[in-house]
Amino acid sequence: MDPRVDAGLLHLMECARQVAQHSYAPYSNFRVGAALELTNGEIVTGTNVENVSLGLTICAERAALVQAVSRFGPEIRVAAAAVVNLNQAASPPCGACRQMMAEFILPEAPVAWPAADGMRTLPFSELLPLAFEMKLK
Ligand code: THU
């Protein structure tokens, strides 16, 4: 286990595991849960919701972000995040979710996910070092 996985992240993982029970994944059977700790102290969770068109599927991380903004508004900031799955699979957040997290997460926020040798964690800025941004002149 990564030594940076502290009690707070373990609690977030447990929240993510609980929400993964609600996953709607009839096409992949890959059941994912995400938990976000916000800077206001609230924890918000989300799970993956698949669609027969496949492309319309929403990942757990993005479901959690949408839930967080819906509940607390556009000023939310994510202080820590955990993603788990119920398939015992090593699985970091996908690229699309990293890009969407970039919108709301603090660069130093730890992000934890299941790796081959237990949970791994990295500061978000190392998980997505060069996020797309639009700086118009
Ligand atoms: N999935 C997530 O929920 N999060 C990710 O970061 C990657 C993939 C979901 C989408 C789909 O329902 C299933 O996992 C298989 O790709």
- Tens digits of per-residue pLDDT, 90-130? 999 999 999 999 999 999 999 999 999 999 999 999 999 99
Domain containing 79 — which CATH number? 3.40.140.10
Q: What is the per-residue pLDDT across 40-95, written as a single tens digit (0 to 9) for each?
A: 999 999 999 999 999 999 999 999 999 999 999 999 999 999 999 999 999 999 99
Pairing type for strands 32-38 and 78-85 reads antiparallel
Tokens coding 30: 């890959």
Ligand 1 mean position to 104 CA, how many Å? 20
The predicted model scores a pTM of 0.96
| Residues at CB less than 6 angstroms from ligand 1 | 25, 28, 30, 32, 48, 50, 57, 59-61, 93-94, 97
Range of the domain at 17: 3-117
Q: Give the SS3 label for residue 66.
A: helix
Establish if 123 belongs to a structural domain.
no
Establish if 69 belongs to a structural domain.
yes
Q: Based on the structure, what is the number of domains in the chain?
A: 1
Establish if 87 belongs to a structural domain.
yes
Sheet architecture: strand order including 43-47? 43-47, 32-38, 78-85, 110-115, 118-123
User: What is the rounded CA–CA span in Å between residue 59 and residue 43?
Assistant: 18
108 as an active site residue: the answer is: no
pLDDT score at 1: 67
Q: What is the per-residue pLDDT across 17-47, written as a single tens digit (0 to 9) for each?
A: 999 999 999 999 999 999 999 999 999 999 9
User: What is the rounded CA–CA span in Å between residue 30 and residue 129?
Assistant: 27
pLDDT score at 42: 98
- Which of 19, 22, 30 is the best mutation target for the ligand 1 pocket, counting ligand atoms within 8 Å of the beta carbon and taking the most? 30
pLDDT score at 63: 98
